[in-house]
Amino acid sequence: MNQMGGWMGKILDVNLTTGETSERPLDMDMARQFLGGRGLGARMLWDEVGPEVDPLSPENVLIFACGPLTGTGYQTSNRFSVSTKSPLTGTVLDANSGGFWGMQFKKTGHDVLIVRGKAEQPVYLEIKPEGVTINDAVPLWGKVVSETTRTLGQNNNKRNVLCVGPAGERLSHMAAIMNDGERSLARGGPGAVMGSKNLKAIVVEGKERPGIVDQDKFKFMLYETRKLLRASPLTSQALPEFGTIVMMNVVNNVGALPTRNHRQAQFEGAEAISGEALTEKYLVKNSACWACPIGCTRVSKTDKVEGEGPEFETAWAFGAQCGVDDLAAIIEANHMCNEMGLDTISTGSTIACAMELAEMGLLDSELRFGRADLLVKMVEDIGYRRDIGAELADGSLRLAKRYGRPDLSMSSKGMELPAYDPRGMQGQGLLYATSNRGGCHMRGNMLGLEVLGLPKLIDRFQVQGKSSYVILHQNIAAVIDSLVICKFTNMGVAEEYFARALSAVTGIHYPTGEMIRVGERVYNLERLYNLREGFAKADDTLPPRLLNEPVPDGPSKGWVSKLEPMLKEYYRARGWDENGVPTPHKLAELGLDKWVEAAQ
């Protein structure tokens, strides 16, 4: 058992070029300031990867990071993240996943694994109590995710496999890193970075346990959190019964469900691809990650496949966004994404972009909106970079640019936007435009405030004052991503509980506000990273369609995204100048004084 609370205090460093592996102590000041996961990853990435580094070159790194809560047994303390420079966007990237791998990696006695360089031949890492080995992965190269996972001996509680599939091997910019079979570190293409290093998989087996400084307080926090999660109908009924895909009907009902590459904001086929439909026709059971009492994962089955998913975003991306109302086809496309190791949001939305280009006669393909029958093959072709799949494999922006229509890529900073139409949810648009990893809903989500009334309904068409909500949610998401726990816990449990759990585990007093300030710190550092990469105010934007083309019908009819006034207010509210650059005053407040020069 560890004397320290929460952190294991060690970084494992693997150099694939030289074959060297080494350990070094975790800088505890850095850990206190950035916690772990996304925060620590961003901080370390700042030092490791500068603007001169190409994301798919050996000089890029992969930083797998747990947080002080990972593996403690606190509810949902299974999550971990990977930080790198994104091949899809060129921004700082962290991708976050659940399952069991993170818990097991922590048990190896480390907080962070940093992988650098490039192996000459495909290899896989094995991290066990006896030591770290780099092993030949040539026989595994080319294998799909499930086969790789099985061959390497996946056992949820004892031996966990993290790997890439054909998509990562072939450097698709939408490639995901998969863990425990069907969980994913998906957005932004971290799978391509891993593939570019000739790294097929990382297998972990561990024995150690993180320390807990105040055992009594921790027990109390476990009890209170359990009570709250059970008491909230969101975490005790809605998520386990219907999964995230239950969002389909409600988002469609308010007219904020992007349809056919965002040409519309309401889909006539939403019911057919809804959570209710899934539960009725294809659901086998629900499932949970380690230490999670919620159990939002779906296990679904068609006559061709059985596996985890689909999540709401997946069902949307291959569904409404592609004009497809065939849920079985969507389930099968999701399954293929998992096998190839691909991000479902980017893949679905890129296919939708291709559908629009094809309908306009620009792209030579039989792809059309509604062609459910072509989805699975298209995903496979993307994974293997075959035929037209090769053109889609690097995301919708590169695809659309190639055909002279970058405006038809529904992306921000190159990352495909998720399932909420900014024209129908004004705050969400601001969120996407200012997300540090590109158009993303997991860096804060205005769904609660603007649609579900959590904690209270704020008019989704209101523009004044929206920025403060967006900022608060971005900060909270950043710290949850650094602890690392699951955001669904936050649906039943307030941040003050996380702060007290963190304090109990680490023995360091984190008032709630201070903990959220970690999130603000992380957010600002990520911003600085992107500024260093050359991103500027002009990149905090949305596709022209959302700024200029009013929604044609439905409850959001006539609306466009009123980004500009919200963005102005946002910069001021964040304490940034009118170009979106953090001011010295703000940086000093966050303890980021050393970065003041970098911000100029």
Partner 1 sequence: MIDERIYEQFKEIGRDLYEAGMISSHGGNISMRLGDRVVIKRRGAQLGRLKPHDLIETGLEKNDSGVTLASTELLAHRTIYMQTPALAIVHCHPRTAVAFSLSRDELVPIDNEASYLLKKVPVVAEEFASGTPEMATKLAAALQSYKIVMLRGHGSFAIGQTLDEAFHWSSTLEESCQIMLMAKLINEPFIEYRKMAEGYGKW
Partner 2 sequence: MPQVKLFGILRRYAGASQIEANGATVRAALEFLCTGNPALRAAIWEGNALRRYVRVMVNGRDIELVQGLDTPIAPDDEIAVFPPIAGG
Minimum distance of partner 2 from residue 546's CB (angstroms): 19
| Residue of 139, 513, 552, 558 interacting with partner 1 (CB under 8 A) | 513
Residue 533: both structure tokens together:
């990469």
Minimum distance of partner 1 from residue 295's CB (angstroms): 23
The Cα 146–Cα 154 span in angstroms is 10
Q: Is 235 in the site for partner 2 (CB under 8 A)?
A: yes
150 or 227: CB nearest partner 1: 227
Stretches 98-106, 229-237, 353-361, 372-380: which one binds partner 2 (CB under 8 A)? Answer: 229-237
Q: How many positions of this chain bind partner 1 (CB under 8 A)? A: 35
Q: What is the DSSP string of 144-169?
A: -HHHHHHHTT-BTTTBEEEE--HHHH
Q: Is 230 in the site for partner 1 (CB under 8 A)?
A: no
Minimum distance of partner 1 from residue 448's CB (angstroms): 10
The Cα 374–Cα 355 span in angstroms is 11
Task: Name the binder of 487 from partner 2, partner 1, none, CB < 5-8 A by kind.
Answer: partner 2
Closest to 213 in 3D by CA, of 72, 107, 78, 80: 72
The Cα 55–Cα 193 span in angstroms is 7
- For the chain, report the end-to-end CA distance as a whole number of angstroms: 45
| Residue of 24, 150, 219, 386 interacting with partner 1 (CB under 8 A) | 219
Q: Is 13 exposed, middle or buried (0-12, 13-18, 19+ CB in 10 A)?
A: middle
The Cα 181–Cα 96 span in angstroms is 15
Distances from the Cα of 553 to the Cα of 505, 549, 558, 587, angstroms: 52, 12, 7, 44
| Residue of 275, 310, 323, 519 interacting with partner 2 (CB under 8 A) | 275
The Cα 211–Cα 208 span in angstroms is 9
Stretches 125-133, 247-255, 463-471, 526-534: which one binds partner 2 (CB under 8 A)? Answer: 247-255
Show the binding pattern over residues 395-434: x = contacts partner 1 (CB under 8 A), - = does not: ----------------------------------------
What stretches of 403-534 adopt beta strand conformation (E)?
411-412, 415-416
Q: Is 315 in the site for partner 2 (CB under 8 A)?
A: no
In the three-class reduction of DSSP (H, G, I as helix; E, B as strand; rest coil), residue 473 is classed as helix
Task: Name the binder of 416 from partner 1, partner 2, none, CB < 5-8 A by kind.
Answer: none
547 or 573: CB nearest partner 1: 573
Q: Is 439 in the site for partner 2 (CB under 8 A)?
A: no
How many other C-beta atoms lie within 10 A of the C-beta of residue 188?
35
Burial profile 555-577: b = 16 or more Cβ within 10 angstroms, e = fewer: ebeebbbbbeebbebbbeebbbe
| Residue of 247, 379, 546, 592 interacting with partner 2 (CB under 8 A) | 247
Q: Is 244 in the site for partner 2 (CB under 8 A)?
A: yes
Show the binding pattern over residues 447-486: x = contacts partner 1 (CB under 8 A), - = does not: --x-----xx-xx--x-xx-xxx--x--xx----------
| Residue of 217, 281, 487, 537 interacting with partner 2 (CB under 8 A) | 487
271 or 564: CB nearest partner 2: 271
Residue pair 381/340 in contact by the 8 Å Cβ criterion: no
Q: Is 578 in the site for partner 1 (CB under 8 A)?
A: no
* Segment 461 to 480, residues that bind partner 2, using CB under 8 A: none
Stretches 20-28, 73-81, 95-103, 218-226: which one binds partner 1 (CB under 8 A)? Answer: 218-226
Q: Is 555 in the site for partner 2 (CB under 8 A)?
A: yes
Strands 183-185 and 177-179: antiparallel
Q: How many positions of this chain bind partner 2 (CB under 8 A)? A: 39
Length of the chain: 600
Backbone φ and ψ for 334, nearest 5 degrees, come out as -60, -45
The Cα 435–Cα 413 span in angstroms is 9
The Cα 28–Cα 63 span in angstroms is 17
457 or 536: CB nearest partner 2: 457
132 or 234: CB nearest partner 2: 234
* Cross-strand pairs, 183: 179
Residue pair 408/398 in contact by the 8 Å Cβ criterion: no
The Cα 29–Cα 27 span in angstroms is 6
Residue pair 255/402 in contact by the 8 Å Cβ criterion: no
How many other C-beta atoms lie within 10 A of the C-beta of residue 20?
12
Stretches 126-134, 311-319, 407-415, 495-503: which one binds partner 2 (CB under 8 A)? Answer: 311-319
Q: Is 159 in the site for partner 1 (CB under 8 A)?
A: no
Q: Is 206 in the site for partner 2 (CB under 8 A)?
A: no
Q: Is 554 in the site for partner 2 (CB under 8 A)?
A: yes
How many other C-beta atoms lie within 10 A of the C-beta of residue 600?
7
Q: Is 50 in the site for partner 1 (CB under 8 A)?
A: no
Q: Is 591 in the site for partner 1 (CB under 8 A)?
A: no
**What residues make contact with partner 2 under the rule CB under 8 A?**
233-235, 237-239, 241-247, 249-250, 253-255, 275-276, 311-313, 441-442, 445, 447, 451-454, 457, 459, 487-488, 491, 554-556
**What residues make contact with partner 1 under the rule CB under 8 A?**
217, 219-220, 223-224, 227, 449, 455-456, 458-459, 462, 464-465, 467-469, 472, 475-476, 494-496, 499-500, 511-514, 516, 569-570, 572-573, 575
